A = this chain, B = another copy of it.
Amino acid sequence: MGGVMPLVQLVIGLALVQFFFFLFAVGKARETYKVAAPATTGNEVFERYFRVQMNTLELLVVFIPAISIFSQYFGSYLGAGLGVVYLLGRIVYFTSYVKDPKSRSMGYGLSVLPIMILVVGAIVGAIRAAVLTL
């Protein structure tokens, strides 16, 4: 029983490590393509790495609270499972975006879809709990 939330925490931890990896990829691309700070534009390939990082930042801000609330109501096996789909979707997004921005749709969908389910589930769970206890 106590092992349920740790699974969700583990997936959150892995999502943070993955994001750190994207941050370092940007730092490396900054050197490779000679884009000196504070600039974030000037080289198209660098900008791809930068956009992957920014897009992941946007999703991470939604993913972490959503998976936490969702798992409280629907169990963390389901929550952690959806989280793993998000993690895989981000890997696909990263590799396809860096190769060709036009091919980023599938990885994007694969990481956004589980987040949408998590958000909707979090809201449904919270409404149900609020109504039951009012």
Contact = CB atoms under 8 A, between A and B. Distances in A.
A47 to B, nearest CB: 4
Given A39-B47, A53-B58, A130 B65 contact: no
Nearest to A133: B3
Contact of A129 (B2, B39, B133): B2
A78 interface: no
A101 B38 contact: yes
Q: Is the interface of A mostly helix, strand, loop or mixed?
A: helix
B134 A3 contact: yes
Contacts of A129: 2-3, 6, 9
A3 B132 contact: yes
Contacts of A123: 10, 13-14, 17
Q: Which 7 A-B pairs have the closest CB atoms?
A: A3-B133, A13-B123, A6-B129, A6-B130, A9-B126, A2-B133, A38-B47
Interface of A: 1-4, 6-7, 9-10, 12-14, 16-17, 19-20, 23, 36-41, 44, 47-48, 50-51, 53, 57-58, 60-62, 64-66, 69, 97, 101, 104, 116, 119, 122-123, 125-127, 129-134
Given A13-B122, A14-B123, 9 more contacts: A3-B131, A6-B125, A10-B130, A12-B122, A13-B66, A16-B65, A17-B119, A20-B62, A60-B61
